[in-house]
Structure formats: structure tokens, C-alpha cells
Structure 1
């Protein structure tokens, strides 16, 4: 009904009433209009905050508009989101501490673990076993489909965390794994167990952080392409490691070792490790050409010169080197007695807490190393690492593992 038609009907109806009744009717209608306006404004605000998170909304407008909407200064646009991709037992916890244990970082520890403890997402529709060369094709309706994981990660970088409160992280509030950004949330969950109240603390920690970082072990590099396209602030680093060292760590970690009781199982694990690395090295080379300032392959062995290379990594990620981070690096350099090598003549080795690049030669037998080399020869060549032909060569520690220089070293 047009406005003038409504006015005509109303005044015709009002003319039949006395002045007081007409005035009363007008006041009731005005009150209703005011209430409707208030409800409309409230619902609109709720829609923007809950259905269309403000961080995602401002991502589609110009920088000047962003500053007007939220009163942001220029530092708001300097934030870097980081996806640290790795495999199980490749030094990812070490890298996580280098990146995530800073006061200016919101760090999410293994957000995709809930999609399957022993599975990882591959290509566009595969769910594969971490230790066995077995994959299944996922339908798009599956809750484990890569698109769901990609949506989750995009929401995480936008601090849209409410839908994921029941699966916050795999840290289980273990103090050794708890980054600073989760401290208040962990205290809240322990004392109150009120999801909504605690979730607001987590969202606030995320929104106030200068950098947002996630460490993922359960996706391949191909699965990160939609994230690069949808989040212009995102940078990706992929941590690679000598597959023989990965196998050594698998066999020395009780919850992995129990799955590797036979040589057949060790062979299967070797096949998976190097199949993943082969695919990701190929994808990484392509992505570094497309996104030279946003994608970088890293080698665990490159962090032998820890201070210098961590600063290079921070520079790539637009992160400052702070006094707090200097203290973290010092803690990573502490000797770890349980990991010191067995005494051998003319052997010098510095064991870092969380950093053990070449100790597999002293802790893993030649027969296991030979199995890994059988399936990973091309990967070792791509990583610039030596293949040992005999047990005598393998045990001769004067023979360096790195042939010349690491092809993906930080510069």
C-alpha cells in the first residue's frame, strides 16, 4: 500500500472519532513505529557482528573506508597471517615456538587435528592415512571435506571462532604446549567451563594480536591455494626435513612407534612420507613462482644457525625481532641431556632442545635408513641431502649429510 493511500484511510477513520480517541490512536501508532525502528537497528547490528564478521566485511572495502568504519590506524593493515605447514615429527613444534610463542601473536596449535588424528587432506577431495598409503574420496557433503577445513582456517584468520568453540585446539591446555595467546581462555575453561564467556576471551585475543598464525600437519600445499586467493594477508611457510630424520622421530615417539612394529609398516610409512614431500615440493616450487613474497619452503636443517635464520624468517613474515623472542631462542638452544649422542671419539655435536637435525645417524640403524632411502631417493636429491651407499658410510660422521648447500635455505 502506498504511503498517501494509508494516510487517506487513516484520516478518514480518525474523523469518525472524537479528538481524544484520535490523539490516542496517533500516539499508539507512533510508539509502534519507534519500537520497530529500534528492533530493526538491533537486528541489523547483530547480523553484521555474527553473520557477517566485521573483519570479513572490511576486507571488501578500501583502506580509507576501513579506517573510517573501525577507527583503525595504519598499523591495522600491516598484520600478517601465517600458515605453517609441516608433517608429524618434522620439527613443527620447534617452528611453532619460534613463531607462536610471542606476545603479539595469536597462535592456533594444529587446528585440523579434529578432522582425524591419523588422516590428512590431500588434493581437492582425498582423505589419506598418515602412516599408510591409503586414501578415500570424500563427497562435498562430508564434514571432513577439504573445503570445510579451508573455511575453518579462513574463519580462524578472521577471528570468527564462535562456531568452533567445541573443538578449539589439540593443546588440551598442556602448559608446555600453551602459547601466550591462549592463557586467559585456558584459565576460563578450567574455572568456569562456560563456552560462550570463554570464547569471547579467545576472540578478543585473536582480534588484538598483530599476527595470526596456525600450524597445520593435516593438509597438503595444494589445499592452501584457495586460502592464498581469499586472504591477501596470508603467507605460507612449509617445513621440510630429511625423511630419515622423520622416520627416526617416528620410531622414538611412543604413540607413533606403536603403529610401526614391522618392516612392512615402516616401508608403508616411508612411502607416505616421501609421497607427501614429493608432491609438496613440486607444488611449493610452483607457488613460490606465483607468490614469491607469500610462499616459502623451509628446511629444518637450515636452522642450525638459529638466530640469524630466525631473523630472516621474521623479515619474510613482516614480524619484528623482539627481546622476548630472543629469550625464546635462548631456551631452544639449551642442551637437552636426554638427547646427547653416545660418546664416540672425534665427534662434536650440539643438541638443541627441540632441534636435532642429524642425530638419526646415531640413533637409527642402517637397515631402517636403507628402507627410507629406497623410497625417498628423489626427495633426498631435491633436498640436497646425501644418500649413503653402505653402513660404513652411514656411520662415518665426518661425511656430511648436506652435500653442498640446502636448496631452500633462507636468504
Structure 2
């Protein structure tokens, strides 16, 4: 009986110790890590007592990282959870166990970024860095603390902006932010009060910060072809069947920071509102303003459904008021920010592509003549059907309006746009015969007076 009691006491004692250990294991094991620490370097060390000997030992754990946005009362923290703590999918303090898919995605991202770095170095192996005023490629790469060359194209619908945007994007290792304001619809942003959100998006994208742009990603997800214009990104995410990469803000932010050149095209934001961007010395953005004859502009917009739904698109008085406003804004910017604005006309780009494209390269300070020549050769000598196609016989486009528009419509349009046409060097057609004559050249020289 005494032996039986001894066994009972030992058993109860052992069970108590076990319960104590188990309970201690399932207490909140979340580790709060300040945002200045790197979670991958985190280790768990315990002290082991073995008879008279003692030593420290690292416990291998797998951690999942997630920003805890709701934990404001704990300061700026991230949450880390021991994967061994649970075998289910329980979420603890907003941190969850990584799935196999998430693990694979993280690995894929690192591999893709490594490949992109190698591709960029290969593409620019013969690039003349002195043309861009730097000594090393790292001087142009944000990931290594450099400052990329950023170019912003501003225009309006059917002005040839897609062609110009793709031309600039032909520069090797250029990251193209294609129409980030598409979600604003068919409207012109003309007032500073309406421009706050738009300018914030533009600035953040140029700084490669895509966090918090859920609305942008949601809109883009409805038409994946929009990503195809951003060719450097699309090359890496087009084969991703789940589309995780295209809409992964962290991945896109990191990818963007690898490229020495960035460009963006906007047709919804007027020139006078980019002062805030030009004033940002960190960005050091250069702006190209693309203009087009309002007669060619309106001819190209006719019968476009997107245009029929907005007076900003089809009302001549509004269209030409914007052209006058752009002229005044261009004059002011040239005075305030010398060397930061280049103005070109669509007609000059179409009829004199070699000269005009060299002006663009000199303005950007980019060694891209070979890339431009290849693009122009492949895109200006053949027709490919499609509203947004950039494969055109460009010499046939600028004056197409002369032979397709009714003169009475042209006459009314010219009356509404008289001031704009005078400022930008577009000559009036005074009758139908003159308008359709091959001798009538509606484009003349112009200057932006100071």
C-alpha cells in the first residue's frame, strides 16, 4: 500500500509538471518586433541546465511576417508568430501561419528580383552612363540609394500619347507607369481641389511606393491588358496564373526600385497642376507636353464611345480652353523650372520622327538612340488595327482630318479654337477647297513667349 501511494504521488507530480510545461507553451508566444528591426534576423535562445553544466541553445522556429495596422497602442510594430504554436489556420494577433502558396510566392519574388537585376545589368552593359551624368549604374537605382531619371508625359485623349509613351518606354530598363489615373474616368482634372488624390498617386508611384493603392489595383484587375503597356513588369507577371504578382504592392514596389529609368503617361491631369511634382527635388521629374491640332484631335475622337459620354472629350470649347491653359502653364514652368519641360507637337513627331525623337533623348539625357530607331522603324511603316494600336504609317495620320471632316464642322471648331490654334501654330482653313488641297499645310512654326 505504501509503495502504491508513492507511485501515485510521483505520477501526480509528473502530471502537474507536464501540465505546467504545456500551459507555458500555449501562452501568447507572439513576439512584438519594432519596425526598425529586421524580422529575418530574429532568433529564440533558451538557457539549458544539465546537471552542473549549463549552455544556451537556439530553438528553430518559422515566423510569418505581417504588418499589424490595428496595434497602434503598441507603437509601430509588426507581429511574428511561432509556426509550431498551431497546426491550424488560427489567426493570432493579426499574424497567421504562412501557407504553402505564400511560401512559394515569397521564393518566387526573390528569384524574380534577382533575375531582373541581372537582366538590367545585361541590357545596360554598353550604356553610356556619362550621357546621364553619372559614374555608375547604382547612381540611377533606388534600391542602391540612387536617383532614377523620371519622365512624365502629359497630353490628352487621342493626341498620340500612347505612341509617345511607348517610344519612351523602348529605352532599355525603363519602368513604365501606364495611365495610373484611368480609374478617374473620362474627365479632365483641372482644379487643385480635385488634384490632391491624383498628385498623391503620381508622386507615390514615382517613388515606387505602391502600398495603400488598393483602388488602383482593383481597377487594373478588371482589365489585365492595361499591365501589358508596363512591359518590364508584365514580362515577369504575365505568366502568373493567380495574378498574385501583378497586384502585390510589396513586389511591385521592390521591382520598380530596380530600374534606372521611369516614365509615366497622363491624359487626365492638366499641366498647370504639376507644379507640386516639379517642386519635389527628390523626384526631379522632367515633363514632356504633347499637343495636337484640335481638328485632328476631334477627328480621332469621333465615334469613340468613351468620348461620347463626357463633355471633357467632345466639347470643343473645353478642349481648346485646355490648350490655351497648357500654353500659359508651359510658359510659366519654363520660367520657374528651366530645362524641366519639353513641348512637342504630334504633327512634328509624326512627320519628323528622327529630329523630334532626338530632341526627346537630349532633353531626358538618356543614351537611347538605338532603341528609338528600332521602335520607329517597326511602328511607323505598317498598320495594325486597333483603337490603341501604336503601329501606324505616321505620315498619313496628322492631316487625315482634312479629308474626313465636314468643312462646316471644321469651321465651327476653328471659331471655338481660334486662340488655341494661333498659340500652337495651327493655320486656319478658310474654305473646303483650301482645306482639302494637298498644298495646304496647316502647321507652322510657333514659339512659347516668355
- The TM-score normalised by the length of structure 1 is 0.68
The aligned runs of 1:9-408 (5 Å cut-off) are 41-42=37-38, 73-76=138-141, 77=146, 79-115=148-184, 117-125=185-193, 145-168=194-217, 172-174=223-225, 178-184=229-235, 186-187=237-238, 191-194=241-244, 198-231=248-281, 232-256=283-307, 258-259=308-309, 269-303=315-349, 304-336=351-383, 352=393, 356-403=397-444, 405-407=445-447
Work out the CA distance in 2 between the residues paired with 1:391 and 1:230: 49
Work out the CA distance in 1 between the residues paired with 2:202 and 2:411: 38
Structure 1 165/325 Cα, relative in aligned 2: closer, same or farther at 3 Å? farther
Check conservation: 2:175, 2:263, Cα contact below 8 A. Answer: yes
What are the Cα deviations for residues 353-392 of structure 1, in whole angstroms up to 9, with x where unaligned? 5972111101212122112101001111111111011112
Check conservation: 2:210, 2:253, Cα contact below 8 A. Answer: yes
Work out the CA distance in 2 between the residues paired with 1:380 and 1:254: 26
What are the Cα deviations for residues 311-369 of structure 1, in whole angstroms up to 9, with x where unaligned? 21011012212533322111221133879xxxxxxxxxxx6259721111012121221
SS at match of 1:297: strand
Between structure 1 and structure 2, the one with the greater Rg is 2
Check conservation: 2:171, 2:368, Cα contact below 8 A. Answer: no
Work out the CA distance in 2 between the residues paired with 1:194 and 1:338: 31
Work out the CA distance in 1 between the residues paired with 2:242 and 2:364: 36
Work out the CA distance in 2 between the residues paired with 1:200 and 1:279: 38
Match of 1:25 in 2: none
- CA displacement at 1:406 relative to structure 2: 4.1
SS at match of 2:216: coil
Structure 1 317/38 Cα, relative in aligned 2: closer, same or farther at 3 Å? closer
Check conservation: 2:186, 2:313, Cα contact below 8 A. Answer: no
Gaps of 5+ in 2: 1-30, 42-64, 70-75, 77-135, 387-391
Check conservation: 2:245, 2:251, Cα contact below 8 A. Answer: no
Structure 1 177/390 Cα, relative in aligned 2: closer, same or farther at 3 Å? farther
Work out the CA distance in 2 between the residues paired with 1:377 and 1:335: 34
Work out the CA distance in 1 between the residues paired with 2:397 and 2:443: 14
Check conservation: 2:190, 2:269, Cα contact below 8 A. Answer: yes
Work out the CA distance in 2 between the residues paired with 1:108 and 1:305: 26
Check conservation: 2:291, 2:344, Cα contact below 8 A. Answer: yes
- CA displacement at 1:254 relative to structure 2: 4.4
Structure 1 155/355 Cα, relative in aligned 2: closer, same or farther at 3 Å? farther
Check conservation: 1:120, 1:219, Cα contact below 8 A. Answer: yes
SS at match of 2:264: strand
Gaps of 5+ in 1: 1-34, 52-70, 126-144, 340-350
What are the Cα deviations for residues 78-114 of structure 1, in whole angstroms up to 9, with x where unaligned? 6211111110111111111111233311111111121
Structure 1 157/275 Cα, relative in aligned 2: closer, same or farther at 3 Å? same
The structure in which a higher percent of residues are helix is 1
- CA displacement at 1:228 relative to structure 2: 0.8
Work out the CA distance in 1 between the residues paired with 2:177 and 2:430: 42
Work out the CA distance in 2 between the residues paired with 1:167 and 1:320: 32
What are the Cα deviations for residues 197-227 of structure 1, in whole angstroms up to 9, with x where unaligned? 7434422331111111111111111210011
